[in-house]
Amino acid sequence: MMAQNYKKMRIIPPSELIINPDGSVFHLHLLPEEVADTIILVGDPARVDTVAAHFSEIEVRKSSREFSTATGYYNGKRLSVISTGIGCDNCDIVMTELDALHNIDFQTRTEKTDKNQLTIVRLGTSGAVQDDISIGDYVMSCYSIGIDGLLNFYGGSVCESEIERAFIEQTAWGERLARPYVVANDQSLIKLFEGFARAGVTISAGGFYAPQGRVVRLPLSQSNYLEKIEKFSHKGLRVTNFEMEGSAIAGLAKLMGHRALTVCAIIAQRTKGDSNPDYSDIVNKLIAFALKTLTK
C-alpha cells in the first residue's frame, strides 16, 4: 500500500524524464498530443514517408536524430508512424518516451492514474534461419527472443522462463553473452496478421553481424552458432528469423501494459546464403496490409 501511494505521488525528476524547453519529450521531440494510440514502428527513417504516403491527412511531421514521426489519418483512424533506427537500445528510448507521452502528466511530472493502452506494430526487415522460409515471405513474431540484454535491466516478470531455459540449454549459450529473454507478442494483434504472415519465433540481436552469426572477416566466439539456433526446438517452437528490435518492443510493451507485435519481410535467407537488397515491393505490401488491418 505504502509502495503504491509512493508510486502515485512520485514526482519524476528532470534528470530521469528530460522534457525540452518547448514541452516535447527529449529524443522524440514530440508533444503529448502529437502521438496517436495506434503506432507503427519502423527501423528506417525513410520508411516513415512510405507509410505516411498512404495517409489521407498528415497532422504532425517531426524529425530528431533517427527518430522521425508522422501522425495522420488512414481510413478515418488516427495513426502515428515512428522510426526507431536500428537496435533494442533505441527501442528503450522510443518505448519509454511513447509511454511517457501518454501516461505521464508533463506538467506535474507524475504518473497518470488512468493509463492509455497503446497498440504498437513494428514493420521491419529480417533474415530467415530455416530452409522453408524464403525471401519475400512475411514472419510475425509470436515470441521474441532478446539476445541484446536490454530487458534484463528492468524489474517485473513478463518473460517465458521455460522457453528461455530450453533455448539456453540447447544452444549451450555462451557465458560471456547476455542472457536471452523470451517475450510473447500480443495475441490479439497476431490474429490480425494470420493468413498474411507466417507465425514465428524471432531472435532480436544486438548486432547485424556476429550476433546474427555472420562472418565477414572476424571469427565468431561461439562454435556452430547458427546451426544450434536453427536446430533449437521446444514444444513445436523453432527459431524462424533474426532482426534487431522486436524483443525490446514486446518486452517493454508488456511491462507497461501495451499491445505489441513485430511483423517482418524476409530479405535474407541465411541457410541458403541469399539476400535481396531491393526489397521495397515486399515492404510496401506489408505496409499496405498492416494499415488496412489496423484500421478495420
Ligand X SMILES: O=P(O)(O)O[C@H]1O[C@H](CO)[C@@H](O)[C@H]1O
Residue 127 engages ligand URA in binding (rule: CB under 6 A): yes
Rule CB under 6 A: is residue 244 a binding residue for ligand X?
yes
- Of residues 139 through 198, those in contact with ligand X by CB under 6 A are none
Contact partner at residue 240 from ligand X, ligand URA, none, CB < 5 to 8 Å by partner kind? none
74 binds, among ligand URA, ligand X, none (CB under 5 to 8 A by kind): none
x-or-dash string of contact with ligand X, 206-225, rule CB under 6 A: --x-----------------
Compute the least distance from the CB of residue 122 to ligand URA, in Å. 12
Work out whether 244 is an interface residue with ligand URA (CB under 6 A): yes
Q: Closest CB to ligand URA among 84 and 212? A: 212
138 scored as a contact of ligand URA (CB under 6 A): no
The least distance separating ligand X from the CB of residue 264, rounded to whole angstroms, comes to 7
**Residue 100 C-beta: closest distance to ligand X, Å:** 23
* CB-nearer residue toward ligand X: 83 or 119: 83
Q: What is the nearest approach in angstroms of ligand X to the Cβ of residue 278?
A: 14
The partner in contact with residue 44, picked from ligand X, ligand URA, none with C-beta cut-offs of 5 to 8 angstroms by kind, is: ligand X
Residue owning grid cell 517482418: 264
Among 39, 229, 252, 268, binds ligand URA (CB under 6 A): 268
Cα 183 from Cα 145, distance rounded (Å):
7
Contacts with ligand URA by CB under 6 A lie at: 125-127, 208, 212, 242-244, 267-268
